[in-house]
Structure 1
């Protein structure tokens, strides 16, 4: 079953970003993930709240692939750097319509 990671990320420092991009790109692909969006071009059209700097959407072949990526020993230090250097929220969403 397909899953999606939906992240909103607002960097509080830029120091972690150059070392993050390459390994994250490679490891996402290694676990079968595909970036669908990584952009600052987004707008909130409903609700309230702070606008994050970036919205990121990754498609995963399974929930386990997403979790394996997050727990990969090579990724963990980059994850720690991102979470220390940003305000981040990460949602893992199963691709199903429970209201259909």
Structure 2
């Protein structure tokens, strides 16, 4: 059985033109690929480090790495991804749910 994976995103919009058209399709496509939003909030704080805080932090749980990749490459998502990346400063990491130091 494959491990779950987590998308961890930091997003700071540089304009809001894309946001209204993004939310609904992104929600549906995350669900379509077995994902679940665990957090989408501007209520967060940096406990360590000096990098500027993003406007939003988002965490999505995926049933597998492939599910996350399928979402990112879904033809229905690509135009929304392009709009988000053009209209924001975004960082997206995919993290496997395992402890290599245990």
TM-score above 0.5, yes or no:
yes
3-state secondary structure, aligned to 2:85 = helix
Deviation at 1:7, TM superposition (A): 0.1
Aligned structure 1 segments of 4 or more residues deviating by more than 6 angstroms: none
Aligned counterparts of 2:47 and 2:92: Cα–Cα separation in 1:
20
Aligned counterparts of 1:75 and 1:49: Cα–Cα separation in 2:
29
3-state secondary structure, aligned to 1:74 = coil
Q: Are 1:85 and 2:83 an aligned pair?
A: no
Pick from 25, 29, 33: which aligns with 1:31? Answer: 33
Aligned counterparts of 2:15 and 2:69: Cα–Cα separation in 1:
26
Q: TM-score if structure 2 supplies the norm length?
A: 0.97
Pick from 40, 43, 47: which aligns with 1:41? Answer: 43
- Aligned partner of 1:94 in structure 2 is 96
Aligned counterparts of 2:5 and 2:50: Cα–Cα separation in 1:
26
What are structure 2's unaligned runs of at least 5 residues? none
Deviation at 1:22, TM superposition (A): 0.2
- Aligned partner of 1:20 in structure 2 is 22
Q: TM-score if structure 1 supplies the norm length?
A: 0.99
Report how many residues are paired.
100
What are structure 1's unaligned runs of at least 5 residues? none
How large is the Cα RMSD of the aligned pairs?
0.3
Deviation at 1:44, TM superposition (A): 0.3
